[in-house]
Amino acid sequence: MLLSSVNFISYFYYLASKMKRNIYNAQNIARYFAGELDKENQEIMDNEIGKDKNKKREMRDFSIVWEESEKLDVTDKIDVDGDWQKVRSRIGFHNRQKRIPVTGYFIRIAAILVVAVGLTVSYNLFFKKSLFESTQEYKVLADNEIKKVQLPDGSVVTLNKGSNLIYNANFNISNREVILEGEGYFEVEKNKSIPFKVYVSKSTIEVLGTRFNVKPSLKDITVSVDEGHVAFYETEMKNNKIELVENEQSSFNSERLTFESKIPVNHNIMAWRTNKLSFNGESLEIVFHTIADIFNKKLTLQVEFTETINPVVFQDQSITDIMNSIQLAVGKKFDYVINDEELIISEKEEYW
């Protein structure tokens, strides 16, 4: 965790109190490099340095520290969740950072103070780790299998194959924010004081406690609500939003930045988790697209269909079993091939 301004100032004065009260002390060395030493004391300091080889060597070392500490000018923008903001920027989130009121030159003076009292170890551990590096943690959960993840607030996320979930170390302390890369089903515990937010592409899904599915495609992010209430909005423009409740679904186009009208939830969209597919009067073309999508296949249609399918439910069946059942249901009017990447539908020359 980055150093708080209160602790920083306390540490600064602690160091100052440890110094010998003479002209060649930490405070004056810091003022010397900052150009804030009055003319009389600067002349005395130059004189002492000039006649003492050890002091001259020390000042060369301090000079290096001073120049290196110039790189800390970003500390005017320190944010305890700074790295989290950087990660969120990948998905279109660029909100203003919270700042700690510490000036860059003050940090540089403090760096000199630490080294001036000989606390080399403290400098390396205290300053370099706290200021040059971030200690913010992230949890990245990705797998080649469907995986359930319980978050620190008790919420459960089921990730589809190849999907990632990212959250920072302050989750359930100062935020309940996650980044979704891929598809996930969320069962969110209620917490009115800390809203739960899911960032995906250029959109945000915000809830207090509910159950919903998030499915991104090449251009669209589709949210399907099983229970509760969801605010679904463009991350950069919160007023561009749609409200969804139980059994409602909508998609956000990340190129046009527009939302589709609400429709009833298509529960087939969640078949990757439920292993349940149901059709009732859809065209065969839609049926094949759905099957290919659920089983992560590229669909190649070599024939046009006008037929629709009678009500049917498939539970815990393989893609081969499902395709055989549909083939029989429509009188074997097509052939199909399934390989590792594709579902290929071709016309059958002879019907029976």
Whole-number pLDDT of residue 85: 63
User: How distant is the alpha carbon of residue 75 from its chain centre?
Assistant: 22
Provide the pLDDT for residue 217.
87
Check the CA dihedral 273-277-283-288 and report its sign.
positive
pLDDT value of position 244: 96
Distance CA 173, CA 250 (A): 31
pLDDT tens, residue by residue, 41-76 = 878 878 877 777 777 777 766 666 666 555 554 444
Average pLDDT over residues 289-296: 91
- Axis crossing angle, helix 53-69 with helix 26-34, rounded to the nearest 10: 60
Q: Which of 290, 270, 275, 254 is nearest to 185 (CA)?
A: 270
List C-alpha distances in Å: 251 to 162, 163, 177, 219.
21, 19, 21, 10
What is this structure's pTM? 0.62
Do 7 and 126 contact (CB within 8 A), yes or no?
Answer: no
Nearest to 214 by CA among 245, 187, 185: 185
| In the chain, % of residues over pLDDT 70 | 68
* d(C-alpha 265, C-alpha 246), whole Å: 9
- Write the pLDDT tens digit of every residue in 74-103: 444 445 455 566 566 655 554 434 443 444
CATH 3.55.50.30 domain span(s) along the chain? 275-347
Of 228 and 8, the structure prediction assigns the larger pLDDT to 228
Query: Which pair of tokens denotes residue 265?
Result: 């939830």
Query: In the chain, which segments carry CATH 2.60.120.1440?
Result: 138-265
Sign of CA dihedral 226, 229, 235, 240: positive
Map tokens 């004065």 to a residue: 13
Is the pLDDT assigned to residue 172 strictly greater than 70? yes
More confident residue, 130 or 38: 38
Hey, what CATH topology would domain 138-265 get?
Jelly Rolls (2.60.120)
Q: Is 100 exposed, middle or buried (0-12, 13-18, 19+ CB in 10 A)?
A: middle
Q: What is the C-alpha to C-alpha distance for residues 272 and 316, in angstroms, rounded to an integer?
A: 10
pLDDT tens track for 96-132: 344 434 445 555 566 656 555 554 444 444 443 443 3
Residue type, 189: E
What are the CA-CA distances from residue 105 to residues 46, 70, 210 (Å)?
A: 22, 8, 48
Note the CATH number of domain 275-347: 3.55.50.30
The model's pLDDT over 238-289, given as tens digits with 9 standing for 90+, comes to: 999 999 999 999 999 999 999 999 999 999 999 999 999 999 888 889 999 9
User: Which of 350, 351, 320 is CA-nearest to residue 336?
Assistant: 320
Question: HSE (CB half, 13 Å, CA atoms) of 282?
Answer: 17
Residues 6 or more apart whose CB falls under 8 angstroms from that of 203 comprise 92, 221, 232, 233, 234, 235, 252, 254
The answer to whether residues 344 and 291 touch, using CB atoms and an 8 Å cutoff, is no
Judge whether residue 298 has pLDDT over 80. Answer: yes
What average pLDDT does the chain have?
77
Give the mean model confidence (pLDDT) for residues 141-167: 88
Percent of the chain residues topping a pLDDT of 90: 38
pLDDT digits (tens, 9 = 90+) for 317-333: 999 999 999 988 887 77
Give the H/E segment covering residue 289. helix 284-294
